Amino acid sequence: MSAPAPEVAVRATGLLAEFNARGVLSVADVNVAVTLSRLCREPAPEAALALALTVRALRGGSVCLDLTTVTEEVFDVDEAMVDTSSLPWPETSSWLEVLRRSPMVQVHPEDAGVGVGADEDGPARPLRLLGSRLYLDRYFAHEESVRAQLTRRRRATPPVVDLDRVEALLDQLFDRTDLAEDEPSWQRIAAANSVLNWVSVVAGGPGTGKTTTVAKVLATLQALHGGRLRITLAAPTGKAAARLEEAVRAESARLPEALRAPLAGLSAATLHRVLGWRPDSRTRFRHDAANPLPWDVVVVDEMSMVSLPMMARLLEATRSGTRVILVGDPDQLTSVEAGAVMADVTHAESNSAPVPADDVRLVALRHVRADDRPGAAGAMSPDDPAQARTLGPVVRGVVELTHTWRFGHEIGALARAVRAGDADAALEVLRAGGSHVGWVEQDLSATDPDDLAALRECVQRAGRAVVEAARAGDAAAAVQALEQHRVLCAHRAGPYGVTRWGRTVEEWLVRAVPGYGAEGEWYLGRPLLVTANDPEIGLYNGDTGVVVRAGRGLQAAFARGQQPTLHPLIHLDAVQSVHAMTVHKAQGSQFSEVTFVLPPLDSALLTRELLYTAVTRARERVEIIGTEDALRRAVERPVSRASGLRQRL
Ligand SMILES: Nc1ncnc2c1ncn2[C@@H]1O[C@H](COP(=O)(O)OP(=O)(O)OP(=O)(O)O)[C@@H](O)[C@H]1O
């Protein structure tokens, strides 16, 4: 794939001009760097380059620019890889030296005890240098806020609970029926952790029982506190919030009556709504440090989609005596905005540090004897270095669930192989096939889509069901049918992209469904994708819906738990048709069947997280179209997102 010619930044000279000409820097990156260099009277081109690259890094989801690794990064222009090896990169140590002396840069004292503002006597400087990592000051402040809040809560005296009572409740809620003889009950350990810590992380892939565990944690907490706790459930999007509410309800319905009752009124909302969305600001909320949230327990699901700035706002608005339970899949693609908070918190460097033998939470965990199986927390010794890797995260409030309870066996095996970076194992699962996974081993640039008969039939079957329900005015059935099957792509454009595949799917539907699309722009059964957050009407980027008959008019139905919400078409500002969608947009959604169009070998987007996220969007079956080389490359290349949080936690 060749990259299109980049737009030329007329203000760029020297280094900036060269990086712009190669497409690494956009006009906007260059303009920010030129303007701030002038304002700060910084003549050094290396400093301007570092600033421009930092702005660019934020666009790509990194929180900062790491000067020691930037030359190895994969840069892309419009999704095609750019060869940056021949660019005139400054030598790292002299580049850092220029930055240390720059009037644009505030050098941060390395010792972790010193927070933002400690050396802020001089005029405001737009950049912050911490070791080899360069931040825009605002993003450093977000990272520092999250780090400080999490650390403070971890170091605080843990919540006071009656440990015997906790043990009895956990005994009642968790049994070992479906576990192998030597398999620790990680769900139980995770639950103990969330009960015993102010901040806890329940990590795991789809179907590993995160929601089940959270429902049991909430039941335990309410039982310990006489049902008086005020609890809120939050998620980054409306759809995810609705799913969370439904799942927690379904799980709590299975609990014993006495434990279930206090959970009856639980409801979930988007993070925007929980924090108090303000029409006058995109980044500030009604609840903040001065006006904190009233809740005793805050559960945040789909954490991998939560950006660093959002996490900072949430923690700042949460009182120190509130339990915060973070739930999500750290191996998924990260938030569209900057940050990889879930992955950073789950894999924080401190998690592998030695565990102090007198750690209060460890003692507590032992006391509740989370489990006696080999390798379980209750049976572990903090003095045994071999166990430190498993025990470290647990003691620090992080538990990863790995047993998959829901998937067809092959999808789980494929997801595990991808997650582990084991390309041979992934290929073995795909080659073996079965009713849950399939592989069309083809290079798509040379394929006529009409040759993919099985895919066409699948698309037509699902599309027909959507249109029939939409025409009949059955919004719930239309929304459900919409989630039967989805084509996912990494790219937006080109032979592997959403545009081509969306058009193909649309053509197949026109052929299969009489009168398809005949009503004009808002035709019955038109699948819709929301492309921008609109908290006012409760629709979020990535939400999908469908145009349905409603009385004598038309409305758009969006999945929200059992009953879809209906919106007048006139309210829909930012929507497009969604016959195929990017994996990024599909985060937070699942479909019965998924067809994943794997990008080509030279794609900058071909990463492990992309493949893992695509595979785990499927509930019943996933089919991958692409070559063996591209598959191997994807499994073997993890995403690199620069952030200091992982090291600093
Ligand atoms: N220990 C267990 N034994 C048997 N079934 C379980 C167990 N834990 C969870 N399940 C079942 O597995 C399914 C998936 O569980 P759950 O919804 O809690 O997973 P999840 O990790 O929250 O998934 P997702 O991320 O997709 O929401 C549910 O049907 C649940 O009842």
Tens digit of each residue's pLDDT (9 = 90 or more) over 473-500: 999 999 999 999 999 999 988 889 999 9
Buried b (16+ CB within 10 A) or exposed e, 214-226: bbbbbbbbbbbee
Place of tokens 């990259």: 3
- CB 238 less than 6 A from any atom of ligand 1: no
Q: Where are the alpha helices (DSSP H) in 156-201?
A: 163-173, 186-196
Residue 212 CB–ligand 1 contact under 6 Å:
yes
Strand spans (E) along 225-379: 231-235, 268-270, 277-278, 281-285, 297-300, 323-328
Atom 16 of ligand 1: nearest residue by CA position? 209
Average pLDDT over all residues of the chain: 87
Please identify which residue in the block is written with the tokens 């890889």: 81
State in Å: Cα 409 to ligand 1 middle.
Answer: 14
Q: At what angle do helices 453-471 and 475-482 cross, to 10 degrees?
A: 160
Q: What's the CATH number for 409-636?
A: 3.40.50.300
Mean pLDDT value across residues 249-272: 90
Ligand 1 atom nearest to CA at 244: 27
Task: State the Cα–Cα distance between residues 367 and 371, nearest whole angstrom.
Answer: 10
Q: What is the pLDDT of residue 115?
A: 39
pLDDT cut 90: percent of the chain above it: 56
The finding on whether 175 has its CB within 6 A of some atom of ligand 1 is no
Q: Could you tell me if 127 and 57 are in contact, meaning their C-beta atoms sit under 8 angstroms apart?
A: no
User: Ligand 1 centre and the CA of 304: distance in Å?
Assistant: 18
In the chain, CATH 3.40.50.300 sits at: 145-345+384-401, 409-636
Spatial separation of the C-alpha atoms in residues 313 and 300, rounded to whole Å: 13
**Inter-residue contact 404 to 222 (CB < 8 Å):** no
User: Is residue 106 within a helix (H) or strand (E), and if so which, with residue range?
Assistant: strand 105-107
Residues 328 and 309: their CA atoms lie apart, in Å, by: 17
> Which of the four pLDDT bands, split at 50, 70 and 90, describes residue 117?
very low
Q: Check whether 114 has a pLDDT greater than 70.
A: no
Name the residue with the closest Cα to ligand 1, atom 7. Answer: 209
R_g over Cα of the chain? 25
- Angle at the Cα of 220 (from 233 to 274), degrees rounded to 5? 15
| Ligand 1 atom with the shortest distance to the CA of 243 | 27
Please tell me if the CB atom of residue 204 comes closer than 6 angstroms to any atom of ligand 1. yes
pLDDT of residue 190: 92
Atom of ligand 1 lying closest to residue 204 CA: 21
What average pLDDT does range 23-36 have in this prediction? 91
Residue with tokens 């750690």: 359
pLDDT value at position 146? Answer: 96
Ligand 1 centroid – CA 619 distance (Å): 12
Q: Whose CA is nearest to atom 18 of ligand 1?
A: 209
**How far is residue 488 CA from its own chain's centroid?**
17
**What's residue 211's pLDDT?**
92
Tokens in use for 87?
């660019």
At 553, which amino acid appears?
G
Which residue is closest in CA terms to ligand 1's atom 8?
Answer: 209
Which one, of 274, 252, 272, 271, lies nearest residue 262 by Cα? 252
Give the residue from 342, 339, 380 showing the smallest Cα distance to 359. Answer: 380
List pLDDT tens digits, range 316-328: 999 999 999 999 9
Contacts of 129 (CB under 8 A, 6+ apart): 96, 99, 100, 105, 106, 107, 108, 135
Which value does ipTM take for this structure?
A: 0.98
In the reported structure, the alpha carbon of residue 57 is separated from the centroid of ligand 1 by a whole-number distance in angstroms of 36
Cβ of 247 below 6 Å from ligand 1 = yes
Distances (CA, A) of 243 to 65, 298, 446, 487, 560: 36, 16, 40, 22, 7
Annotated binding site for ATP: 204-211
Report the b/e string of 304-327 with b at 16+ CB within 10 A.
Answer: bbbbbbbbbbbbbbbeeebbbbbb
Report how far ligand 1's centroid is from the alpha carbon of 70 (Å).
Answer: 40
Q: Which residue type, as a one-letter code, is found at position 40?
A: C
Give the position of tokens 């759809």: 239
If one residue of 406, 409, 587, 620 were mutated to test the ligand 1 pocket, choosing by the most ligand atoms within 8 A of its CB, it would be: 406
**Ligand 1 centroid – CA 264 distance (Å):** 20
**412: Cβ below 6 Å to ligand 1?**
no
**Mean pLDDT, residues 380-401 taken together:** 71
The type of residue at 627 is T
Mean pLDDT to the nearest integer, 238-264? 88
Q: What angle do CA 347, 348, 353 make, to 5 degrees?
A: 110
Higher pLDDT, 460 or 389: 460
Q: Supply φ then ψ for residue 20, to 5 degrees.
A: -70, -45
pTM listed for this prediction: 0.88
Residue 614 φ then ψ, to 5°: -60, -50
Q: Which CATH superfamily is domain 145-345+384-401 in?
A: P-loop containing nucleotide triphosphate hydrolases (3.40.50.300)
